[in-house]
Amino acid sequence: MRLFAVCILLGCAFASTSLQAQKQKKAPKPVTLFTVNKKPVTAEEFIYLYNKNHQNKSEDFTTTKIDEYLTLFINFKLKVEEARTRGMDTTGSFIREYNQYKDELRRPYLPDTKITDSLTRLTYERLKEEVKASHILLNIKADASPADTVAVYNRLVDIRNKIIAGEDFGKAAMQYSEDPSARMNQGNLGYFTALQMVYPFENAAYTTKPGQVSMPVRTRFGYHLLYIADRRPSQGEVEVSHIMLRTGEGKDNEKVKNQIFELVDELQAGVKWDDLCKQYSEDPGSKDNGGKLRPFGPGAMASIPDFERTAFALKNPGDISDPFQTAYGWHIVRLERKIPLGTFEAVSPTLKSRVNRDERTQLSKQAMELKWRRDYQFREDAVVKARVLALGDTSLHNAQWKAPVVPNAARDMVFSLTGKSYTVQDFLQYAQKMQRPNTQDPAKYLEQLYNHFVDASILSLLEAKIVRENPEYGYLLKEYYEGILLFEIMEKEVWNKASTDSVGQRRFFEANAALYKAGERARATFYSASTPGFEATLRPLLQGGQADEARIQQVAAENKVKTETGVFTKEEKPVLQKVTWGAPGVYTAENNGLYYLVRLNEIIPPGLMSFEEARPSVISDYQSDLEKRWIEELKKKYPVKVNGKGKQYTLQKLQAK
């Protein structure tokens, strides 16, 4: 709602955010159109906004229309200047809201978008192939010391050297791997494709050639060696149904085996698959829907390779496998369909969403952020940083932390970017505004805020570069910045005052009572419903000499009848045109599919309206009056000076069509 309101105030459209992020030619020196409080507003900004808000309206490019818009634009800038003077753009709520919009607007211009597009394409290309790999795992904690990390890495390098020298990888996996399954499968993971393994593991699998052993690869599980046995074209996915009879837990395996073969005989005799599945299958998650499982690809059933192998071996939909046994029991599988990999265009939206949630995107963004730090010559003072991070306390947990007074805070540099210093005071002010409730250690949370501050500072420099190269982006960003300020200052100075100041409303009405006139109208109550029948019960109550209002409301509620009372003209309530105008009484009528009882209490002759009748119009007019008087005050407070040459330049540019 807030974004919508800002756009209404600015006259902007949501489509504005789809600007093409293309590098523009360097803009000429801007021309000043007018100044507010000695601050220039350029002709280029005005021309951009006027063109955007008057598209396909050639009749709006007259001098008179442009002058009218210029007056409105000057008033807009006066309000924004007042909001800035009050510091409304420095509050935490403003910064958070503006940053939210800015992040969305900036996205097409940042490398992040290119990273996602590139990763999506790369992932799609990998999905075209399946890799068969084995691995050896050595465990290591994520927060292990550098010495322990190096020790594990070197140990894995030694194992790799032995394998390259001729030791069998499978035997080495059984001997050295700390993956418990290696004792049984010799580290063999079978075939898998993209998005099935953690990203560093997948990356190593797809960048190591068949027959080779990778260098040690770090994942969140530890360090791995990979041996790539084969690569083949993707088989896509399969969707199958199965009937499972469990073994183990004291069951007689031979009896279970005999029973599953009997079920195959019944299927061949014509008994329906779904009936047998519902009666006999012991997979509670699928037995009631015909045993159907979600589609899966190679590697998704790595823990039960016989199941995966059997499913992919079936050729045609409806084919049923021979009975086979896994660690869970005996199965028969029916092929529902084979699902080949779709075209890139078809799978791209879903694939991009998966890539954005995947570890690969986060790792790539981290790499990009490190590159930005190098590009912008990031330097930090480790001593000052440590001193600052020690200033946190438990008040950070509920976001009530107040930045302490620190000697030389405005002078001491905590980091710099392209030679520009960012001080302790800069960071403390940022941290106080941006803190959120959390449960982290105070020093850790301050460090998180510090990293966010560094990233935000780099983004600010990136943004300045984007604005230089893409003027329209700069104008759009300014629209949102000033639009939020306009909303807040108008809400405070005009809208809330006009709607809540009942004394001011009445005073304004009394001073302008002659303006609020009305024609002939009726004081009436309307009872309406979408179906007839309520009239028979309600009408006698309305026609009584002393109406029992409590009983009337009870009957109305019981019959789901809507009630509305007030003073209305025939134009405001067309149903009044269907009753006898003049005599008070109770009338039935039908209008636009609704059934009415109308209690006509009084016909009011033309004349001045009462305050209550006029109040909606009074509030609107009082709001306009408040705004008009406020603008006059702002003009005195912030002098406005229109540049004649700049105005002439603006008219020429807008009318050169």
Residue 111 has pLDDT above 70, yes or no: no
**Are 11 and 618 spatial neighbours (Cβ–Cβ below 8 Å)?**
no
* pLDDT for the residue numbered 657: 63
* pLDDT for the residue numbered 23: 44
Residue 146 has pLDDT above 90, yes or no: no
Q: For residue 326, give both structure tokens.
A: 């896994």
* pLDDT for the residue numbered 394: 93
Report the pLDDT averaged over residues 464-491. Answer: 88
Higher pLDDT, 473 or 582: 473
Report the pLDDT averaged over residues 445-473. Answer: 88
* pLDDT for the residue numbered 20: 42
Q: For residue 360, give both structure tokens.
A: 């690969």
Report the pLDDT averaged over residues 640-656. Answer: 93
Sheet holding 188-192, edge to edge: 188-192, 129-139, 222-233, 217-219
Report the pLDDT averaged over residues 65-70. Answer: 94
Mean pLDDT in the chain?
A: 88
Q: Rounded to an integer, what distance in angstroms lies between the CA atom of residue 178 and that of residue 289?
A: 40
**CATH top-level class of 517-608:** alpha beta
Domain ranges for the chain, please list them: 129-233, 237-340, 376-464, 517-608
Report the pLDDT averaged over residues 526-535. Answer: 89
Amino acid at 358: D
pLDDT tens by residue, 394-432:
999 999 999 999 999 999 999 999 999 999 999 999 999
Residue 362 has pLDDT above 80, yes or no: no
Residue 582 has pLDDT above 80, yes or no: no
DSSP, collapsed to helix, strand or coil, labels residue 402 as: coil
**Are 216 and 223 spatial neighbours (Cβ–Cβ below 8 Å)?**
yes
Reported as a pLDDT band with limits 50, 70 and 90, residue 93 is confident
Residue 22 has pLDDT above 50, yes or no: no
Q: Rounded to an integer, what distance in angstroms lies between the CA atom of residue 314 and that of residue 269?
A: 21
Best mean pLDDT range from 15-29, 99-113, 272-286, 345-359: 272-286
* pLDDT for the residue numbered 8: 39
Beta bridge pairs of residue 590: 595
Which of 462, 430, 479, 464 has its CA nearest to residue 90? Answer: 430
Q: For residue 482, give both structure tokens.
A: 């000033």
Residue 2 has pLDDT above 60, yes or no: no
* pLDDT for the residue numbered 359: 79
Reported as a pLDDT band with limits 50, 70 and 90, residue 34 is very high
Residue 340 has pLDDT above 80, yes or no: yes
Q: Rounded to an integer, what distance in angstroms lies between the CA atom of residue 180 and that of residue 472?
A: 59
* pLDDT for the residue numbered 537: 86
Q: Centre a 10 Å sphere on the Cβ of residue 99 and count the other Cβ atoms it contains.
A: 14
Instruction: Please classify residue 260 by burial: count the beta carbons closer than 10 Å to its beta carbon, then call 0-12 exposed, 13-18 middle and 19+ buried.
Output: buried
Q: What is the CATH number of domain 129-233?
A: 3.10.50.40
Q: Centre a 10 Å sphere on the Cβ of residue 646 and count the other Cβ atoms it contains.
A: 20
Angle, CA 534 vertex, CA 529 and CA 540 arms, to 5°: 130
Higher pLDDT, 555 or 178: 178
Q: Do 237-340 and 517-608 share a fold?
A: yes
Q: For residue 212, give both structure tokens.
A: 């080779």
Report the pLDDT averaged over residues 266-278. Answer: 92
Angle, CA 313 vertex, CA 311 and CA 315 arms, to 5°: 100
pLDDT cut 70: percent of the chain above it:
94
Residue 454 has pLDDT above 70, yes or no: yes
Q: What is the CATH number of domain 237-340?
A: 3.10.50.40
User: Where do the H-state alpha helices sit in 376-495?
Assistant: 382-389, 424-434, 442-469, 471-490
Q: Centre a 10 Å sphere on the Cβ of residue 349 and count the other Cβ atoms it contains.
A: 9
Q: Rounded to an integer, what distance in angstroms lies between the CA atom of residue 450 and that of residue 440?
A: 14
Residue 7 has pLDDT above 80, yes or no: no
Q: For residue 443, give both structure tokens.
A: 């020093």
Q: Rounded to an integer, what distance in angstroms lies between the CA atom of residue 295 and that of residue 309?
A: 14
